A and B are shown apart, each in its own frame.
Chain A
């Protein structure tokens, strides 16, 4: 589904990603871990299409298409979803309107008619209940004055409504209480299917108790330095990133 080859990306003068290779197949869940500043969010944003980063080398294929050639909104409409580490506040646009507009834009891209109001409301209610969110949040401006945890839940709500094919969750677990963590994990697991894939960026093994990954990768210094199965996350939890020094020493 997603194939990243020798990806190099920079912002201004600094090279952040220095040769990433990653293959994610439909039906899989991959976890990406790694120290602060190693480039995890940058990778997530390059997949989503953020224009602040310049890809200097390498390629990304998404379902056989050249992803780097696609506009941000086309990537989203084609099923890529990034749950932001730092969701953006948009004053003056209600959450409800935003959600419905996003859904309708995606539907339009696929030549489908807009969602019916009643259908939308029913779907929204179902997802709000599932995520333990109050419906009053739908009338508020997007993420404006939301608490850290509320913003994260709001990302998951958008994911649940948009039903992406490839979801990239950037530290969605940070700042969540334990109940919220389970709810978010349920949200991800609910989307689990042979046609979909998920990349979870996290610092904590805890999340992976609920979202069991097929593969775990360690990103350091803009490269994937180790890959393994879920036991790698346990090992990291136990020993930290000390091995990285050894790695660079040798």
Chain B
């Protein structure tokens, strides 16, 4: 079985590589394919995938849609509807990708300050070959991760954001990844984000689709130079039958700030890997996450924070709200290297189980090699508080609204961590769906 599966991807790869590309890229993709061939798709036997069984979803291969339908020239009503659905604020820059390929017609780019580049990867591969090559191959260990290797084997398109030194970006950049079509399509978006010294930016990645069974395998590589600040948001709204695998790799230099806001709602199986390397002093890293599986969904949040240098702070808050027979996995690892004295690392992971059949596996891990550090971690699993529900109802609030309100209250600190009003409103209305929304909810 597995051999044929890999064989299929190899065949696709051969066809894919026929497209004209620079030699270095052809080579990088080949390295990706070789690593993938060697690693094979992950099974539950791997410690890192113990609670997350992808085998049923990967047993049949997915197809690269660019091989069958090569362009995104025709934008139909369906696409427009999806774009509409994804849109948060018309004033944001918007880059739309359909099945992994940039779609200019649906994208909206406003003027940018000089030196700022907001583009798609395919169009900068030649014009900025050196930077792109360095960033694509930097930091990411696709030798260890089959999905990262597979993505690398099929590097094609994605977002390219480059903010030069000292630029405070005024408009957030919204990256919209759409999966369409009825067949088992796969896309491998590859995004590069680089912020120069002292610059700031807001980026949002949205994932959604209208196909039933498809596979998104994305990678975002982020580099923050000294004192740069990035707020990175991810809104995972894939269709219920989708397989969503994503890896975000962040390289942080001295005094930089990175804030991640991860919100996971869709997909049959969604695995999000977030890997931060704090390679400089006085770095701040905040990872906030909210995952809300229901039905048979499985959501796996895997985070790594690697404190390599002194005086770094990291705060991690992940909350899960699990209904029906859904499953959650939280696997958060914090390394504090020998050099990283005076590190302050806080990790908290809380789950709210709305049903007896829902379950969550949490695995916080601290590996500390420095002696003068403050590291705390805590995990709680609870249910909706009956007393609170009763209190709300006894003031006239109907039970379904009261439940939503308490769920909202549980999720609220993660939502309020988002500073972009349009993103926050989007989340608030999702959480309180069907009920009136008020600006003074806090």
Q: Footprint of B on A, CB under 8 Å?
A: 48-51, 71-73, 75-77, 82, 84, 87-94, 96-98, 100-106, 109, 114, 139, 141-142, 158, 162
**Apart from A71-B399, A102-B396, what 4 extra A-B contacts exist at CB < 8 Å?**
A72-B399, A73-B399, A105-B396, A105-B398
Which stretch from B47-55, B279-287, B403-411 is at the chain A interface? B403-411
**Are B442 and A94 within 8 A (Cβ)?**
yes
CA distance A100 to B392 in the complex (A): 12
Q: Would you call B394 and A48 a contact (CB within 8 A)? A: yes
Instruction: Check: B12 CB closer than 8 A to any chain A CB.
Output: no
* B16, chain A: closest CB distance, angstroms: 48
Q: Are B387 and A88 in contact (CB under 8 A)?
A: yes
Q: Which residues from chain B contact A98 at a C-beta distance below 8 Å?
A: 392, 395
> How many angstroms between the C-alpha atoms of A84 and B390 in the bound complex?
11
Indicate whether B75 reaches chain A with its CB closer than 8 angstroms. no
B residues within 8 A CB of A100?
Answer: 438, 440
Interface of A is mostly: helix
Q: Is the CB of A102 within 8 A of B442?
A: no
17 of the cross-chain contacts (CB-CB < 8 Å) are A50-B390, A71-B399, A73-B397, A77-B396, A88-B391, A91-B409, A94-B440, A97-B442, A98-B395, A101-B436, A102-B397, A103-B396, A104-B436, A105-B401, A106-B396, A109-B396, A114-B436
Q: A72 near B394 (CB under 8 angstroms)?
A: yes
Which residue of chain B has its CB nearest to the CB of A109? B396
Is B89 in the interface zone, CB < 8 Å from A? no
Q: Determine if A92 and B391 form an interchain contact, defined as CB atoms under 8 angstroms apart.
A: no
* Complex Cα spacing A97 to B435, Å: 13
- 0 or 1 for each of B393-425: is its CB under 8 Å from A? (1 = yes): 111111101100110111011000000000000
- Measured CB to CB, the closest approach of chain B to A157, in angstroms, equals 12
Least CB distance from B207 to A in Å reads: 27
Alpha-carbon gap, A72 to B397, bound state (A)? 9
Report how far A102 CA is from B387 CA in the complex, Å. 16
For residue B14, CB closer than 8 A to chain A, the reply is: no
* Chain A residues with CB below 8 A from B408, complex form: 92-93
User: What is the bound-complex CA distance between A105 and B406, given in angstroms?
Assistant: 16
Judged by a CB distance under 8 angstroms, whether B74 is at the interface is no
In this complex, what residue of B is CB-closest to A95?
A: B440
